[in-house]
Amino acid sequence: MTGAALTHRNVTSSGHRIHVVEAGEGPLVVMIHGFPESWYSWRHQLPALAEAGYRAVAIDVRGYGRSTAPADIEAYAMTALVGDVIAVIDDAGPEPAVVVGHDWGAPIAWNTALLRPDRVRGVAGLSVPYNPRGDLRPLDGMRALAGADWFYIDYFQEPGVAETEVEADVEQWLKGIYFTASGEADPAAPSAFIIERGGQMRDRFQYPEPGQMAWLTDDDLAFFVGEFERTGLTGGFNRYRNITRDWTELAPWRFAPITVPSLFIGGDKDGPTLLGRRAIERFDRTLPGLRGAHILPGCGHWTQQERPDDVNRLLVEFLAGL
C-alpha cells in the first residue's frame, strides 16, 4: 500500500472491541469486509479515498482479525453487527457517514442504512445487491436450489463441520476459495458452492497456476492466512448461522426500501451478482435513491481487490455527488 499513513485503533461497541484502520481526513466513509476477509480487503481503497479528501475507515468485522470474537452464535446477528458499525460512526463524531460493504459486508451496510438512516448519508454495496427481507425463509430457498446436495450456506450451519475442513490446511482452503470465486476461474467447472452430500466444499475448488492470480500477491495471501491461522474462521461461519435469526428479527422491515443515496457494484463473473439479478431488477423499488448500478466485465467476486481502479473511481464519483 502507498499513499496516506494508516492508523490502527479500537472502538468499543456494547462491550466488544472493534478494530479499525483509517487514513485521511474529511467526511467519514466506513468500509465493511466480507467472508473470508479482513480490513485488509480495502487496502487499495484506504489510500485512494484519503487522497480524495475523505476519512476512510476499514473495520475488522466482529469475529475477525483483532476484533472481539464472542463465543455465542447469536452474538453475530445482523442487528448486533449493525450496532458495531453505528458505534464506529458515533466514535468518529456527530456527522453521518457513508457505509460501503462487500460480500457479507454488503448486507451489513445495506441494513445499517435501512435501520439507521439518521446516521448514514449514503450506502454502497459490492457483489451482493440489496434484497429486502421477504416472506420465504432463506434456508428454504437455498435448499430448493441445491436439491439433493448442500448449498454452501446450509453446509456452514452445523458448528464444527466447515471449521474442520478449513483447519486441515488454511492456506490451501483460502487460496482455493479466493481463486474459485474470482474472474479468472473456469466458469464451466462445477460450482464449488453446491456441495455433494458427504463431501466438502474444497472438493470442487479450482487453484491458480503460479503467478496467475495477479490481484492477490503472495504477500496478500500470507496476510489473510496469518489472520485466520491465528483466529480461526468460526466467527465468520457464525455470521451464516444467524441467517434464520436475521430473517425473524428483520420482520418489521419486510420489503422495506432503502431511501438514502445508494450505489451497487458487481462483476459479470460473480456468482452472488448473477444470483442477485432479480434483486437488481427491483432496484427501482428497493433503492429509490440509487445513483448507479455497475457490473464490471470480467470481474469475479472480490470486486474491490480484482478491480481496485474501477471501484475507487466509482466510489469517489458517488461520494462527490452526495
Res 3 pLDDT > 80? no
- pLDDT band (50, 70, 90) for residue 2: low
Domain 7-320 of CATH type 3.20.20.140? no
Exposure pattern of 22-34 as b/e (b: 16+ CB <10 Å)?
bbbeebbbbbbbb
Buried b / exposed e across 211-246, counting CB within 10 Å, b at 16+? eebebbeeebeebbbebbeebbbbbbbbbbbbbeeb
Segment 211-222 shows an average pLDDT of 94
103 is annotated as an active-site residue: yes
294 included as an active-site residue: no
Give CA–CA dist 93/89, Å, rounded. Answer: 7
- Return the residue matching grid coordinates 476459495: 177
Query: Strands, DSSP E only, in the chain?
Result: 7-13, 16-23, 28-32, 55-59, 97-102, 120-126, 150-151, 194-195, 262-267, 290-296
Catalytic one of 103, 154, 246, 270:
103
pLDDT band at 160 (very low <50, low <70, confident <90, very high): very high
Split at pLDDT 50, 70, 90, the class of 211 is: confident
Each residue's pLDDT tens digit, 28-59: 999 999 999 999 999 999 999 999 999 999 99
Q: State the average pLDDT over residues 138-162.
A: 95
Question: Does residue 9 have a pLDDT over 70?
Answer: yes
Give me the residue spans of the domains in the chain. 7-320
Asked if residue 4 has pLDDT above 80, the reply is: no
The DSSP result for 81-98, as a single string, is HHHHHHHHHHHH-SS-EE
180 near 167, Cβ under 8 Å?
Answer: no
Q: Which pLDDT does position 172 carry in this prediction?
A: 97
Pair 282, 289: CB distance under 8 Å: no
For 237-273, the pLDDT digits (tens) are 999 999 999 999 999 999 999 999 999 999 999 999 9
